[in-house]
A and B are shown apart, each in its own frame.
Chain A
């Protein structure tokens, strides 16, 4: 499972919202509007419940809100870029989260889900890649960077 399989340029947006909840609520419709996905409210609740348990800010300015739901059949992703950083998104290294990679998968997609999570970490742990993503203003360009890894 790679970015190419789960993401498309239309699901990459630039965020201007200030909070973690706002960022999630901006990204959720990009996924809930896809065919065969649960409605936005239901997904929102699931993402927030997960964040309540423990923040998905994994460090290096990356946030990975992720859920698995029974109603979802295909693993899909949306990416939000926040140039200044989301102020209330706790992270393991306390750095502000600037790249939000949202994942929604089905409950039976354990293997793909784990691979996607690890792929995100692998691609974005390169400081050079993160800087390139944050520097560009084209979603196609960001898509290309993520896919090329």
Chain B
């Protein structure tokens, strides 16, 4: 016993998940992206707040953090079809270089000047500026994508954002590799060379891509022999975990390697992998929640000297300006569409895991350089990046939302399932079908089927109460027996109604009922009490109406 109360890891995961959901709910009510809610809850329960989650807990949860990053990377990879790069490759490259390099230069120069004002040493100031510039160029893919997914965004800007944030890590790591080695050379520590740093960064980047590619091809090969979704899910998680494990073991970028797995899969087997990406996305929400709550909990803002807040402010402003101006420049040069050119910059303000990770590495490497009394260059980087991460994580998602709102891309990524979830049976029920009376002759029944475009007819009693259905399938057997047409009645051939649909029932639930009893259509009654027929719901017509509504909504957002 240490005299302090320690929560178990499972309890911490529980607090993170439940707290994150509550935080997201509150922020959604305030029309702020839910990811901000997760991070704020993290800040409140973390070191800066009440300290419920300690640095030790966060360290213990590092494998989980890597798992979350792996899942994020895999899902991002799944969005990157080769056709996108064929179409927008030049545009993506120029925007990426524009926003990355502009941010690097603006943040680098400003930080150098501020640090010089504090320490009056050009070498140390320049070393700090180069590292800050490199770290600032990174964008957080996770929170940015979370906003896109939350608001079901789709369109040219959304596609470009996904590609840019996915590739941004690689650029940031390259710039950091260069920046940190320049910083080390400037401060004359161990004689590191730029060539060595480049080699190291190249190993990290290409190693991650090669690892991901190998695991991606292995996963694709294994999926060929596993048609069942459950098995595919199991093997995919296994492969993703192996890829994460290998990346961690060889100090490779986890997001980049798992993103490559996703890219390989979506480009080599787009149809086979479609369902898999859907399934993984469907259970990824709690993983995201815990990941972001831990991001917030990790941010430690205690004991920071006042002058660093000036540096934080300048960093945030210059980084935002760099992202916006650089994206505009890249978009302008590459001839990108207006929404991409004007709005891309504000959509990629978020800064997250990669920046924090690079700042931790930098703090280790540059701990020996003293900037001012009691503060090393390493400490300053950790403080500044932590504080700026908090700031931009709070404003970044809001700006991403603003960008996709201005581009009119919110709500365009809706699916049939979304529309069905909103519809009731009443919205798509076919009320034009005249029900058959029990005593209707078969010859008349056949005539009805030939006249109307339906595969099912309800049969009603004299009082209008439904008593059965006649389907086209039932008729098929009688079509070549005209002898029976003059004496068989609808009552003789109908199937008693075993399942009822009500007009107020949710459409998705109704379709599930149809599928579970393997019928194409069922009669719809006003309510279960009066059993009075309203019409017929058939899957074909329902899907047609849902698709029409989907197209109407998508067209309305253009």
Contact = CB atoms under 8 A, between A and B. Distances in A.
Interface of A: 50, 53-54, 56-58, 64, 66, 68, 70, 92, 107, 110-111, 114-115, 117-118, 121, 125
B439 interface: yes
Nearest to A122: B483
Contacts of B484: 114, 117-118, 121
B210 to A, nearest CB: 60
Interface string B424-452: 00000000000000110100000000000
A107 B487 contact: no
Contacts of A50: 491-492
A118 B496 contact: no
A115 B481 CA distance: 10
Interface in B41-88: none
24 contacts: A50-B491, A54-B439, A54-B441, A54-B487, A54-B489, A57-B487, A58-B483, A58-B487, A66-B492, A68-B492, A70-B496, A107-B496, A110-B477, A110-B493, A111-B477, A114-B478, A114-B481, A114-B484, A114-B493, A118-B478, A118-B481, A118-B484, A121-B483, A121-B484
Contacts of B439: 53-54
Nearest to A111: B477
Interface string B471-491: 000100110010110111101
Leading 9 A-B pairs by shortest Cβ distance: A53-B439, A58-B487, A118-B481, A121-B483, A114-B477, A107-B496, A54-B489, A110-B474, A92-B486
B489 A53 contact: yes
A121 B483 CA distance: 8
Interface string B488-504: 11011101100000000
A68 B441 CA distance: 17
Contacts of A110: 474, 477, 493, 495
Given A66-B492, A118-B483, 8 more contacts: A54-B487, A70-B496, A107-B496, A114-B478, A114-B484, A117-B488, A118-B478, A125-B483
Contacts of A114: 477-478, 481, 484, 493
B388 to A, nearest CB: 70
Contacts of B441: 54
Nearest to B471: A110
Nearest to A57: B487
Contacts of A70: 496
Nearest to A108: B495
Nearest to A69: B496
Contacts of B495: 107, 110
Interface in B355-374: none
A75 B489 CA distance: 19
Contacts of B438: 53
A147 B196 CA distance: 96
A60 B484 CA distance: 13
A67 to B, nearest CB: 9
Nearest to B496: A107
A54 B441 CA distance: 9
A41 B439 CA distance: 23
Contacts of A111: 477
A53 B438 CA distance: 8
A104 B483 CA distance: 20
Contacts of B477: 110-111, 114-115
Contacts of A115: 477
A130 B280 CA distance: 69
A92 B488 CA distance: 12
A50 B496 CA distance: 15
Contacts of B486: 58, 92
Contacts of B492: 50, 66, 68
A106 B355 CA distance: 72
Contacts of B488: 117
Contacts of B483: 58, 118, 121, 125
Nearest to B437: A53
B491 A92 contact: no
Nearest to B477: A114
Nearest to A114: B477
A112 to B, nearest CB: 10
A125 B483 CA distance: 10
Contacts of B493: 110, 114
B481 A92 contact: no
B174 to A, nearest CB: 69
A111 B492 CA distance: 12
Contacts of B489: 53-54
Nearest to A67: B492
A92 B487 contact: yes
A74 B29 CA distance: 61
A56 B491 contact: no
Contacts of A107: 495-496
